[in-house]
Structure 1
Amino acid sequence: MTDKIKTTRRGFFKKAGAVTAGAVGTTALAMPYVKAQSPIRWRVQTYAGPALAEHVIQPQIEAFNKAANGEMEIELYTADQLVPQGELFRAVQQGTLDGAQSDDDSMASPVDVSVFGAYFPFASRYGLDVPVLWEWYGLKEIWEEAYDEIPGVKWLSAGAWDPCNFVTTRAINSLEDLRGLRVFTFPTGGRFLERFGVVPVTLPWEDIEVAIQTGELDGVAWCGATETYTVGWADITSHYLTNNISGAWAGSYFVNEDRWNELPEHLQTLYKLTIDSSHYYRQHWYWWGEAHYRTTGGKLELTTIPESEWQTVENEAMAFWDEVAETSDRNRRVVEILKNYAETMRAAGAPYRYS
């Protein structure tokens, strides 16, 4: 396009905009699409600290911003950067944030099913269990139902993260070694672990490293090997318990409902597609990392509680499930789904379940 044609078109639009309503009557001037000079701007906060966010959400945000082609731009904030983790849900609801990536549990979502976010004990064995439960066993519809009852926040999608293992400054070789262990963990996982003498501690993400170094914490029951090495906790701890209380963290994406509804359909679709891309990236990154760091990390000594003794923990988890099922009809339905899924996996045998 020549400069002359550009100038002519600019002049035309300028003159057209100056025409009074009386001059044009009730007929609106049909304008061709012009890319907005000021893009839609969103602020999204993740549960993850900076090093972890580089993997669990930053690639998604960068891909969205690039594909949005100037129409929209998302600013990403890491754990506690704008609001504390426990206030994340309210911040999205009130519009302080436009979106969030977190688990329902630690962000204090006021829905009954929030108890199943993060690490609901023994709900999964592998990362692939989470998307299967949501997409093929009905949890997606239950989550939509639950969040539809809460004004201001829309739940979009759930995905899998890493398993929940103990990473500590001392060896754990038996259930007795768990007694008095002070760990940073998630609310529901912490309540369950209290049954075995574990002391859950809640601190801001950025304080965890110092708390371990000063002895305020004995470690974490927050993640698997991948995160332990990625965020630097492997440098200040010494032992990794191979037994875990969950095979995958269940996290979700949330948005402010009004801000979401303001988006044109193609940007909504783009955002959901990049969320799926994020789910896929985490699926293979964590699966690679758990084996890689266990075998070649070199910083942590691996210990294992004998399977016969660990079975006590699994049995207690089933009692915990039944207690949660009694808290609401919706939670009962979720527990029924989890039991059905677990039985199906056991009946299918290897590679779904080996025991």
Structure 2
Amino acid sequence: MERRKFLTTASLGAAAGAGLLLSGCGKKEEAQTAAPAAPAVVTGGETIRWRLASSFPKSLDTIYGAAETFSAKVKELSGGKFEISIHPGGELVPPFGVLDAVQQGTVECAHTAPYYFFGKDESFAMDCTIPFGLNSRQTTAWMFQGNGLKLLRELYAQYNIVNFPMGNTGAQMGGWYRKEIKSLADMNGLKMRIGGFGGRILAGIGGVPQNIPAGEIYQSLEKGTIDATEWIGPYDDQKLGLNKVAGYYAYPAWWEGGPQLTLYVSDKAYNSLSAEYKAIIECASAFAHVDMQAKYDARNPTALKELVASGTKLFRLPKDVMDAAFKYSQEHYAELSAKNPNWKKIYADYEAFRREQHQWFRFAEAGFDSYMQAQKL
């Protein structure tokens, strides 16, 4: 599907946010105060039942919950005729097995962080995040108004998958440590649970990356199998109890400035849908995309206050750690461009878009934020 067609059917606000929440894809009570409530898209049509395999545990109501939000919206817009059951990681397939499951048609769809699959092709990481990449708003802009969706659709076609942006955590925290990291030397030999592509950069500056599903992180840190871990941010980290097994909390996560989550749909299942049902998939995933980050942005501040009040010690990652990771990441991206045609094609566009975005964001966004954050409100 061409990008413009996607935007026509799905642009009830994935890029604009507020417009989506006030449209027919938004909450009924909100729609009534801003505009006439839109009827369900489908009043007839066949009854369809799909299964969605999540890469996340059910206990994480934000990231796992995005799939539930999506499913509920699909059911609402179809008048109850299109239902998608949600299954946590491990119930149908392993958390890191969802791409294969969709590709092979074991399930119709999945919700995941695409950088989990960088071992198949490093290019998958750009559908989520790469170290020192785009922030969440920039990622959404690249996907919906730049060439991101078009380029990634071409990649996923090789795997019999149709992809849809479906969530973003916003910039993440830099992880939990048993002791404060004071210099680059402290990274040598550090065994750290770190998701996806960021682990490769961590290894380049002396760390030892471990790829562990969310449900196993606490036990691994408690038993000393790892020395440090990152997950997302205060709200989820508090739910996982990471503050109970590591007392130092770093920021920022140079490896995750705006990680996007993605809905994978089997191309066979998707192409079997009517035009109306395809539009519902696009609309519902766009709604869940906006809703997920809104939840994180609303819940993280309180959780961070509670963590600090309970004894968590915050610290900023040292500049020499950031500089070393940045230098190695740029060198690695150049190496990938020389040997991976998919990466070269997608990253060239990604890099150019990032350059333009930072030239803009440094003025209005950064200028406003830096002033406001210095005020005593």
TM norm structure 1: 0.80
Once the two structures are superposed, what CA deviation does each residue of 1:70-104 show, in whole Å capped at 9, x if it has no partner? 31211101122211123211111222111011122
State the alpha-carbon separation in 2 of the partners of residues 324 and 98 from structure 1.
32
Match of 1:23 in 2: none
Question: Which amino acid in the other structure matches residue 206 of structure 1?
Answer: G
State the alpha-carbon separation in 2 of the partners of residues 329 and 255 from structure 1.
24
Cα distance, 1:295–1:326 mapped onto 2, change above 3 Å: farther
Cα distance, 1:178–1:109 mapped onto 2, change above 3 Å: closer
Q: In the alignment, is residue 281 of structure 1 matched against residue 291 of structure 2?
A: yes
8 Å contact kept, 1:226–1:293:
yes
**Structure-to-structure mapping, 1:170-181, within 5 angstroms:** 170-181=179-190
Rg bigger for which structure? 1
**How many percent identity over aligned positions?**
17
Secondary structure of the corresponding residue to residue 107 of structure 2: coil
Q: In the alignment, is residue 114 of structure 1 matched against residue 127 of structure 2?
A: no
Once the two structures are superposed, what CA deviation does each residue of 1:2-24 show, in whole Å capped at 9, x if it has no partner? xxxxxxxxxxxxxxxxxxxxxxx
User: How far does residue 112 in structure 1 lie from its aligned partner after superposition?
Assistant: 5.4
Cα distance, 1:273–1:230 mapped onto 2, change above 3 Å: farther
8 Å contact kept, 1:345–1:352:
no
**Structure-to-structure mapping, 1:203-214, within 5 angstroms:** 203-214=212-223
Q: In the alignment, is residue 324 of structure 1 matched against residue 333 of structure 2?
A: no
Give structure 1 stretches of 5+ with no counterpart. Answer: 1-32
Q: In the alignment, is residue 235 of structure 1 matched against residue 244 of structure 2?
A: yes
Match of 1:50 in 2: 58
Cα distance, 1:260–1:207 mapped onto 2, change above 3 Å: same
Match of 1:6 in 2: none
State the alpha-carbon separation in 2 of the partners of residues 198 and 222 from structure 1.
17
Cα distance, 1:137–1:158 mapped onto 2, change above 3 Å: farther
Match of 1:26 in 2: none
Once the two structures are superposed, what CA deviation does each residue of 1:255-288 show, in whole Å capped at 9, x if it has no partner? 1111112222222211221111111112222233
Cα distance, 1:44–1:240 mapped onto 2, change above 3 Å: same
State the alpha-carbon separation in 2 of the partners of residues 162 and 178 from structure 1.
25
Secondary structure of the corresponding residue to residue 116 of structure 2: coil
Give structure 2 stretches of 5+ with no counterpart. Answer: 1-42, 371-377
State the alpha-carbon separation in 2 of the partners of residues 103 and 54 from structure 1.
11
Cα distance, 1:44–1:109 mapped onto 2, change above 3 Å: farther
Once the two structures are superposed, what CA deviation does each residue of 1:203-247 show, in whole Å capped at 9, x if it has no partner? 343222211111112232332223212333333332211132121
Cα distance, 1:344–1:113 mapped onto 2, change above 3 Å: same
State the alpha-carbon separation in 2 of the partners of residues 83 and 279 from structure 1.
23
Once the two structures are superposed, what CA deviation does each residue of 1:16-38 show, in whole Å capped at 9, x if it has no partner? xxxxxxxxxxxxxxxxx9776xx
8 Å contact kept, 2:214–2:231:
no
TM norm structure 2: 0.76
Match of 1:145 in 2: 154
8 Å contact kept, 2:114–2:127:
yes
User: How far does residue 44 in structure 1 lie from its aligned partner after superposition?
Assistant: 0.2
Out of 253, 273, 277, which is 2:263 matched to?
A: 253
Question: Which amino acid in the other structure matches residue 264 of structure 1?
Answer: S
Cα distance, 1:174–1:203 mapped onto 2, change above 3 Å: same
**Structure-to-structure mapping, 1:95-110, within 5 angstroms:** 95-107=105-117, 110=120
Q: In the alignment, is residue 94 of structure 1 matched against residue 104 of structure 2?
A: yes
Secondary structure of the corresponding residue to residue 79 of structure 1: coil
State the alpha-carbon separation in 1 of the partners of residues 359 and 213 from structure 2.
42
User: How far does residue 161 in structure 1 lie from its aligned partner after superposition?
Assistant: 2.3
State the alpha-carbon separation in 2 of the partners of residues 347 and 205 from structure 1.
36
